[in-house]
Amino acid sequence: MSTATEIHYLEDTNLGPKAGGLYRRQNIFTGLAVGIISGFIGWLVSHALLQSSNWGTDMVVTVTMASWVIGFNAGMGTFNAPFRWLRGKDQTHEDELYAAGVSQGGWRYWKYCTDHKVVGTQYLVFVMALFGVGGALAMMIRTQLITPHSTFLDPETYNAIVTIHGMTMIIATIIMVSGPFANFIMPIMIGAKDMAFPRLNAMSFWVIFSAVPPLMATFFLGGVDAGWTTYAPLSVQAPAAMDAFAICIITFVVSVTVAGINTVVTIMTMRAKGMTMGRLPIFVWASMVGGALGLYAMPAFLLDMSMMITDRATGTSFFVNQVGGNGWLWENVFWIMGHPEVYVILIPGVGAILEICSTFARKPVFAYKVAIAGFVGIASLSIMVWAHHMFTTGWAPLLAGPFMVTTELISIPTGIIFLVIVGTLWKGSIWTRLPMYFAYLFLWNFIIGGVTGIYLSDVPADQYFHGDMFVTAHFHYTLLGGAMIGATAGVCYWFNKMTGRMLDEKIGKVAFWFIAIGIQVTYFGQFWEGFQGMPRRVAYYDPIFLHANQMSTAGAYVLMLGWLIFLYAMIHSWRNGEIAPPNPWHARTLEWLIPTPVPLENFLVDPVVTEDPYGYGDTPPPGQLAPFAEPEPEREPELVPVGADASASDGGSH
Amino acid sequence: MSSETHDHDAGRVGGPEHDGLEHAGHEIDNYLSGKPFFSRAGGKIFIIWLPMTAVGVLISLFLPHHIFPALLSNQGTDVFETMVFFSILAAPVAAIVYAVGIYSLVAWRPKKHNMSEPPPDGAPQRGDGPLTTIWLVASTALVLVLLVWGITVWSAQQVTHSNTLVVKVIGQQWAWDFQYPGTSVVSHDLMLPVNRPVEFQITSEDITHGFWPVNLGVQVDANPNEVTIIRATPDRMGKFTVRCSQLCGLYHAFMYSPGDVVSSQQFANFLVAQGAKPAAAARLAETQPTISGLSATVAGS
């Protein structure tokens, strides 16, 4: 009989002095050093060879940025294991343990670490940093728009800021749930010891990390003045910053694709015994659908940006109307990525909200299978709606009708999401802790975002609202008010599991009210601007839009204050918060049944699952998983799986 | 949380053939319970829902008048009516979600319970009752109504008229030029005669712009080497603004032109003042509208 004190934790393994090989010498600083040196060499070589040619500057920037990305990842250790394998060697068990962070303490967060929990935490901090940058840019935009002809920013800087605000937020929102939670929480939820491809997991983080410096470099290369959609042919003529932008996107797509493959394969193959597809927590389903949809969507972005680079640097003319190309080609391929991509952002956030609604209403997820059908329905339809972004481009007017049909059909599976939330709340026993606050805010915002989306799907109405501030307000309501509030609820819910400390709810609730009110004021201001006919992305505006803009800017400052307070709550709690118990919410998914902090490889005894995690009101709550539970005298806890005894289970994962 | 260790075996409903998804009985109990409607949860939510829906409908009817600018064309009226109609349809749907949300916070939040411990579990409803079907049928029906509305309005907008006035629009960084074929007029102002169908033929000299005569309720992009077409019929006189709705570089914000819907006589005078021959100006300005339904075609076909 073992007790909790006798458990051998994998992270206590004593490694030999050479375990890890080259990984021992690599961390973020070697990554930065090798990346910068590599970028410099790339610049020297391309400058010497190509600067004199017609497309010199574009070629030089492209090569320099690509060299940075490859160099940084070489310096981090992304290529170590594949190269060893190519040379006929393989990682030893000790090497793998070292790469998973054994014997490195806090350093592992600065290294190429294959532990999914480290990667999840790295993503969380990185996403917060990205939101900091994107939010600061948003505040500069709103500050410029306080008065009709502000001199705060010149139009060149303003356009660059609008572009980078958009792209930073797109990158941040795509990884805000699939990064921290699908990496840290999801494998535990399905009873796995790690992701299916731990090295690819570490790679996905450090690759996306290396994508951001080129994005920020655009400010010093003339700025991208074409908006985050970078419509051709304007973007083909943009300054050299556009090449760095394209390298950023290509790198970003590699990361998201790798992460998407990893998520899908993990869920398909790494489930614990008895964790059938019908027993998966709804968040796992959402992560899988989101990840799979990303696999469909993101490669189109890579394709589009690759053609953009060749247009700019080598004189192909895919997108230049005057020499045989067509800007509509850019727009089509862009939105074939762009519309599924918003659901890549949204669906995992909705999954987190459903998980939270179930836990805090103390009820099963209502109509679980219908919810899954809703996710799959949204994902399937979302690949057939892209041209609704092009209703007013003049491309294929005959297709306006069909695309109006597919677009409005999406409101049926989206309506299912509301049914599931409302049904889960129905006659629940509502426990109003902080995550639930944000779940209610999600419900409020997402209705507004959804209804305004229906106006825009109607072609005659879209002919008025397209390209104006109404659209801006609409997608901020869905992506900020919906998806990002879902991610915030996820932070409030899983913070204690990820950091080992409780998030301070008093400060969190103050932040909540600022955020909730800030969103409404900011984006109702922008709806008002949109009704009045103010175009998007303008640095100056007609004084008739003054009051709406002032309302929006005032709301933006309230919103900023809310996020800063929330950030303070996170940092404060992370450092000084109350130590978290393993299951503060008395929830039933597997991540709550193991200790906090979570040990390396999560489960010392493989769990066996006998029912879905939503037996509220129906079956007694599961206890802590063996062998972490206090031993009971009459039984041997290390043999007891979750739920009923192992022999009762069919034992099959598909 | 060692106290959370429970008996793992007792009371479990496990196993593959019994995955805990069969609780329809609970819901049927709710639907059939003998209490009067208004003292049940559904009845109370209805009492919250009704005024919320009424407020939503009133807002839908009256707010658009105050926040839209003056809409000067048939297509602008379509936009306005679509917004009102869709808002009225959306009001009860949003209100039902909000009503349940509000009611759940009021009635289903256990009073005086220690916030650090979870309240007792709620009813184990799995959603196997008729509600899901009702919801799906209702939302599908609503979507079909929206689609019929949208496609009807859109098709009506594609009807071409026999005496359409053609205006050529040329976008460039960062100004609009308007040409009136049949005359030599090139203007930075967009003048249109009232009650005369107009077809805009739009192109660009450099990059993509968005031609948006705001108060006419239509827009289409101006693309280099392409001619895109939109049609509108101004039906009220008044000034408006042509804006650019597609980010087009440095001075995108300054790419706008004044527009004016005027009487036929004023339109003719404008053309003459811009250098058109009086005969040509009169010919462009004089024709009265006649709708030719038989020649209806879809734009671009």
Sign of the dihedral through C-alpha A26, A30, A31, A35 = negative
DSSP for B6-46, written as a single string? --SSTT---STT--S---HHHHHHHHH--S-GGGSHHHHHH
Residue A228 CA to residue A472 CA, distance in Å, equals: 13
Q: Is the pLDDT of residue B290 over 50?
A: no
How far B146 CA lies from chain A's nearest CA (Å)? 8
**Residue A595, min C-alpha distance to chain B (Å):** 9
Amino acid, res. A619: T
On whether the A114-576 domain is CATH 1.20.210.10, my answer is yes
- pLDDT given for residue A322 in this prediction: 87
DSSP assignment, residue A480? Answer: I
What are A306-319's pLDDT values in tens digits?
Answer: 999 999 988 888 99
The answer on pLDDT for B90 being more than 50 is yes
- Poorest-pLDDT segment among A106-115, A354-363, B56-65, B287-296: B287-296
pLDDT of residue A408: 94
Which residue numbers in chain A have pLDDT < 50?
1-4, 635-637, 639-640, 644-654
pLDDT tens for B112-155 read: 778 888 998 988 888 888 889 999 999 999 999 999 999 999 99
- Interface contact flag, B108 A430, Cβ < 8 Å: yes
Q: Considering all CA atoms of chain A, what is the largest pairwise distance in Å, rounded to the nearest integer?
A: 83
CB contact under 8 A, A412 and B13: no
**How many residues does the structure list for chain A?**
654
Query: pLDDT at position A55, please?
Result: 66
Q: Which of A428-432, B256-260, B278-282 has the lowest mean pLDDT?
A: B278-282
Taking 50 as the threshold, does the pLDDT of residue B5 lie above it? no
Residues of A with Cβ-Cβ distance to B13 under 8 angstroms:
611, 615, 618-619
ipTM of the complex: 0.89
Q: pLDDT value at position B286?
A: 73
Contact call for residues B200 and B191 (beta carbons, < 8 A):
no
Report how far residue A641's alpha carbon sits from residue A156's, in angstroms, rounded to the nearest whole number: 62
What is the mean predicted confidence (pLDDT) over B236-250? Answer: 94
CB spacing of A611 vs B123 below 8 angstroms:
no
Query: What's the pLDDT at A547?
Result: 95
Are A620 and B243 a contacting pair at CB < 8 A? Answer: no
Contact A458 B104 (CB under 8 A): no
**pLDDT score recorded for residue B287:** 59
Residue among B100, B121, B200, B244 with most chain A CBs within 10 A, to mutate: B121
Residues of chain A positioned with their CB less than 8 A from the CB of B226? 321, 326, 394
Cβ–Cβ pairs < 8 A, chains A and B:
366
Q: Which residues of A83-119 are buried (b: 16+ CB within 10 A; e: fewer)?
A: ebeeeeeebeebbbbbbbbbebeeebbbbbbbbbbbb
> Which residues from chain A sit within 8 angstroms of residue B68, using beta carbons?
531-532
Work out the pLDDT band at B33, boundaries 50, 70, 90: low
Judged by CB atoms closer than 8 Å, whether chains meet at A423 and B127 is answered as yes
Question: What does the alpha-carbon distance between residue A495 and residue A433 come to, in Å, rounded to a whole number?
Answer: 13
pTM for this entry: 0.91
Place of tokens 């599976």: A413
Q: Which of B140, B221, B250 to mutate to test the interface with A (most CBs of A within 10 A)?
A: B221
Quickly count: other Cβ atoms within 10 Å of residue A611's Cβ: 25
Average pLDDT over residues B24-48: 70
Whether residues B19 and A279 touch (CB distance < 8 A) is answered with yes
- Residue A517: what are its φ and ψ, rounded to 5°? -75, -40
Half-sphere exposure at residue A513, Cβ-oriented, CA atoms within 13 angstroms: 5
Q: Considering CB atoms only, which of A361, A467, A541 is closest to B210?
A: A467
Give φ, ψ of A19 to 5 degrees.
-60, 135
- When CB atoms are compared, the residue of A454, A463, A629 closest to B218 is A463
C-beta atoms of B131 and A400 within 8 A: no
Question: Which of A164, A328, A426, A432 would best serve as a mutation to test chain B binding (most B beta carbons within 10 A)?
Answer: A426
**Where exactly are the structural domains of chain A?**
22-88, 114-576
pLDDT digits (tens, 9 = 90+) for B180-226: 988 889 999 999 999 999 999 999 999 999 999 999 999 999 999 99
CB A122 within 8 A of CB A112: no
B122–A466 CB contact, under 8 Å: no
Average pLDDT over residues B161-165: 87
Using CB atoms, pick whichever of A412, A581, A644 lies closest to residue B140: A412
Residue B278: what pLDDT?
87
Question: How many angstroms away from the CA of B10 is the closest CA of chain A?
Answer: 8
Who contacts B62 (Cβ-Cβ below 8 Å, separation ≥6)? none
Q: What pLDDT was estimated at residue B191?
A: 94
Residues A269, A265: Cα–Cα separation, whole Å? 6
Element (H, E) at B212: strand B209-213
What is the distance between the terminal CA atoms of chain B, rounded to a whole angstrom?
A: 70
Q: How far is CA A14 from the centre of its chain?
A: 36
What is the pLDDT, as a whole number, of residue B31?
54
Domain B165-288 class, CATH top level: mainly beta
Q: Calculate how close chain B gets to A417, using CA atoms only, in Å.
A: 11
CA dist B60 → A431, A459, A511 (Å): 35, 19, 32
The residues, ordered by sequence, that sit 6+ positions from A463 with a Cβ below 8 Å of its Cβ are A391, A392, B75, B79, B217, B218, B219, B220, B230
pLDDT of residue A368: 94
Number of H helices, E strands in chain B: 6, 10
Do the chains contact at A278 and B230, CB–CB below 8 Å? Answer: no
Taking an 8 Å cut-off on Cβ atoms, the answer to whether B154 and A415 are in contact is: no
Q: Tell me the nearest-neighbour CA distance from A345 into chain B, angstroms.
A: 23
| Residue A194 amino acid letter | D
Give the Cα separation of A449 and A445 in Å (integer).
6
Domain with CATH 2.60.40.420 in chain B: 165-288
Token output for A259: 């992460």
Asked if B82 lies within 8 A of A460 by C-beta distance, the reply is yes
| Alpha-helical runs (H) found in B108-199 | 131-157
- Taking only the tens place, the pLDDT of each residue in A377-424 is 999 999 999 999 999 999 999 999 999 999 999 999 999 999 999 999
**Considering CB atoms only, which of A455, A617, A620 is closest to B6?**
A620
